């Protein structure tokens, strides 16, 4: 038997964003950062929005430890006689 839509929220932290304050935020970028963002095909507004949103998150100590453990388990690949590394944490 089918049930109605679930009222549970899968993401434990909820909050709000002050969109008026966000709209008046003036991001400050160096030319190097703008070049890297543009080179990756990301619009500066998208980058700024991401920064503003992640400042609202509080990760508990256990979550930080799990994130650190996961990053340490990531593999990397070196090329060009170990001049360039692909991966995280190296």
> What does the pLDDT look like over 13-35, one tens digit per residue?
556 767 677 666 666 778 887 78
pLDDT greater than 60 at residue 66: yes
Predicted local confidence at residue 20, as pLDDT: 72
Q: In sequence order, what are the residues at sequence separation of 6 or more whose Cβ sits closer than 8 angstroms to the Cβ of residue 84?
A: 78
Half-sphere exposure of 38 (CA within 13 A, CB side): 7
Predicted local confidence at residue 88, as pLDDT: 52
pLDDT, average across residues 37-56? 82
Give the residue from 12, 89, 19 showing the smallest Cα distance to 58: 12
Is 16 or 45 the better-scoring residue by pLDDT? 45
Query: What residues does each domain of the chain span?
Result: 19-86
CB 37 within 8 A of CB 44: yes
Residue 58 Rama label (left phi>0; alpha psi -120 to 50; beta) = beta
Model confidence at 84, pLDDT cuts 50, 70, 90, reads: low
Tokens of 30: 């160096």
């Amino acid at each position: 038997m089918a049930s109605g839509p679930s009222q549970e929220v899968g993401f434990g932290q909820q909050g709000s964003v002050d969109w008026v304050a966000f709209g008046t935020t003036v991001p400050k970028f160096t030319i190097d950062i703008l070049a890297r963002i543009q080179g990756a095909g990301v619009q500066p507004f998208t980058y700024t929005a991401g920064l503003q949103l992640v400042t609202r998150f509080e990760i508990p100590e256990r979550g930080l430890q799990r994130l650190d453990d996961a990053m340490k388990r990531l593999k990397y690949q070196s090329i060009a006689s170990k001049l360039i590394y692909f991966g995280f944490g190296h």
